Amino acid sequence: MSARSTENDAIRVAVSTVIFSLRAAPDGDRLMLPLVRRTRDPHRGVWALPGGWLDADEDLDVAASRTLAETTALTPSYLEQLYTFGDVDRSPTRVVSIVYWALLRSDLVDTQRSTAGAPENVEWFDVDALPALAFDHRRIAEYALDRLRNKVGYSRIAAGLLPDEFTLTELREVYEAVLGRRLDPSNFRRLLEGTDELVPTESFRTGKHRPARLYRRGREA
Amino acid sequence: MSARSTENDAIRVAVSTVIFSLRAAPDGDRLMLPLVRRTRDPHRGVWALPGGWLDADEDLDVAASRTLAETTALTPSYLEQLYTFGDVDRSPTRVVSIVYWALLRSDLVDTQRSTAGAPENVEWFDVDALPALAFDHRRIAEYALDRLRNKVGYSRIAAGLLPDEFTLTELREVYEAVLGRRLDPSNFRRLLEGTDELVPTESFRTGKHRPARLYRRGREA
């Protein structure tokens, strides 16, 4: 066991976060994630997921939040451990990366960036048009996207990406951005009626269209 | 970053596995897991999950299989990463444990143990009657059990715990052991008919009861 312990010292532990939000694009809101351009070798100048080293005296989720804030100035609306990536050949030195995935309400992205000062070397990318990524970060981003699209409840997605109150149309547009395809408005409405995931409020969104009722999240979230 | 890297050296990485199988008990087959009695401090003499240190030159799932074999002589039928536990206070020194969960077909448990020689310090425990466990291993075992009971498809459970061919009664008894409660036989049969999870064979189990058709797993597994 002592031989193993010595070898074990060569392993370093990092934390990375794939954080999704909705960002305005020419063809409507798109699901996007921020990447950080690396300023050090290996992969200097290449885009990578936000992250950093785990401190010896901090819990894993604290490290995820800290490294995300340090690199992007963002604070997630929802954060959950995703998977630990540790293939021997994923980096020139042995690095085990504990990866979190996170959601950020679209109404908070710009507030956070203007308060904290938008960090350099950070850019948002459409999940369907990612640039070349350092290490195994493309695989990690795709793993997180697969989870978001296939295993996360509607109500949690709404809670993580939308303000407290929203119209059914806004909610549908969120799902369309997450799923990457159009949904039929009447089917969508029918699907959500009668569930306890949504609670109607007495308020309406007014504007150039006819007034639309505002909803809140129900129990599941 | 260099200060952090130094602190990071104090973190060691371990791998543990919660492996479930069905074992005969006085009141029928029960869902059980093997524990290893610790021979070193901390928690010397206390039961713990099988595991060990990650080697610098081995992938995570390889480490899970190796440490499981070294401590229990068992080779899983199914193995999947569960979650990484890394709270600062989970151990006297800083240890991040990457935990796997696994299934072992009931017909292979005794074969493996007699071939490899049953290791000392290992005992199987009913998941509903675990002894005091070292570190945060009770929390880990409960997390794995929750996943098995709530998030794993029927077909995968059957593939991991049963031989290649089985009767509907045997399959129902597996689910009863996993879920910890009785299921109605006719409802169970109805639930599985018409799915593609099960494929009937032309063989029958004969014995003291009337012959029962044998099934194989379908597509999902």
Query: Could you tell me the pLDDT band of residue B115, with boundaries at 50, 70 and 90?
Result: low
Shared domain for A108 and A14, answered yes or no, is yes
Secondary structure (3-state) at A199: strand
> How many CB atoms are closer than 10 A to CB B147?
15
| Enclosing H/E stretch for B160 | helix B154-161
Which of A110-124, A188-202, B33-47, B146-160 is predicted least confidently? A110-124
Domain finish residue from A95, A123, A152: A152
Which of A95-104, A123-132, B4-13 is predicted least confidently? B4-13
Q: What is the CATH number of the domain that holds A147?
A: 3.90.79.10
- Which range, B119-133, B149-163, B180-194, has the best average confidence (pLDDT)? B119-133
| Partners of residue B12 in chain A, C-beta under 8 Å | 5, 8-9, 11
Shared domain for B13 and B110, answered yes or no, is yes
Residue count (chain B)? 221
Shared domain for A120 and A185, answered yes or no, is no
Phi first, then psi: what are they for A61, rounded to 5°? -70, -30
Domain finish residue from A105, A120, A152: A152
Q: Is residue A168's pLDDT more than 60?
A: yes
Query: Could you tell me the pLDDT band of residue B2, with boundaries at 50, 70 and 90?
Result: very low
| Partners of residue B83 in chain A, C-beta under 8 Å | 81
Shared domain for A38 and A113, answered yes or no, is yes
Nearest to B9 among A9, A40, A88 (CB): A9
| CA distances, B151 to each of A187, B145, B156, B163, B179 (Å) | 27, 10, 11, 22, 12
Q: Is residue A93's pLDDT more than 90?
A: yes
Q: Which pLDDT does position B221 carry in this prediction?
A: 44
- Which range, A161-175, A178-192, A207-221, B36-50, has the best average confidence (pLDDT)? B36-50
Shared domain for A18 and A48, answered yes or no, is yes
Shared domain for B74 and B169, answered yes or no, is no
Domain finish residue from A137, A152, A167: A152
CB contact under 8 A, B86 and A94: no
Q: Is residue B4's pLDDT more than 60?
A: no
CB contact under 8 A, A53 and B5: yes
Query: Could you tell me the pLDDT band of residue B41, with boundaries at 50, 70 and 90?
Result: very high
Rounded distance between C-alpha atoms, residue A189 and residue A197, angstroms:
12
| Enclosing H/E stretch for A39 | none
Shared domain for A60 and A120, answered yes or no, is yes
Interface test with B, best of A4, A66, A80, A91 (most B CBs within 10 A): A4
Q: Is residue A1's pLDDT more than 70?
A: no
Shared domain for B125 and B139, answered yes or no, is yes
Q: What token pair was written down for A131?
A: 């640039």
Interface test with B, best of A9, A53, A70 (most B CBs within 10 A): A53
Check CB contact of A41 with chain B, cutoff 8 Å.
no
Q: Is residue A157's pLDDT more than 80?
A: yes
Query: Could you tell me the pLDDT band of residue B1, with boundaries at 50, 70 and 90?
Result: very low
Interface test with A, best of B82, B88, B90, B95 (most A CBs within 10 A): B88
Check CB contact of B3 with chain A, cutoff 8 Å.
no
> How many CB atoms are closer than 10 A to CB A114?
10
What is the ipTM score, two decimals? 0.86
| CA distances, B174 to each of A204, B163, B170 (Å) | 52, 11, 6
Q: What token pair was written down for A151?
A: 């295993």
**Closest alpha carbon within chain B to A70:** B1
Shared domain for B136 and B171, answered yes or no, is no
Q: Which domain holds residue B174?
A: 155-217
How many Å is the Cα radius of gyration of chain B?
20
Q: What is the CATH number of the domain that holds B175?
A: 1.10.10.10
B20: which residues sit within 8 A by CB, 6+ positions away? B31, B32, B33, B101, B102, B103, B104, B127, B144, B145, B148, B160, B161, B178
Q: Which pLDDT does position A25 carry in this prediction?
A: 85
Q: Which residues make beta-bridge pairs with A34?
A: A124
Q: Which pLDDT does position A3 carry in this prediction?
A: 45
Q: pLDDT digit string (tens) for B202-219?
A: 999 988 888 999 998 876
Shared domain for B20 and B51, answered yes or no, is yes
SS3 string, A45-91, reads CCEECCEEECCCCCCHHHHHHHHHHHHHCCCCCEEEEEEEECCHHHC
Which of B58-62, B84-88, B173-177 is predicted least confidently? B173-177
Burial class from Cβ neighbours inside 10 Å (0-12, 13-18, 19+) for residue A187 reads exposed
Structural domains in chain A (count): 2
Check CB contact of B11 with chain A, cutoff 8 Å.
yes
The amino acid that residue A160 corresponds to is: G
Q: What token pair was written down for A12?
A: 């370093």
Shared domain for B110 and B18, answered yes or no, is yes
pTM (predicted TM-score):
0.88
The amino acid that residue B141 corresponds to is: A
Shared domain for A60 and A118, answered yes or no, is yes
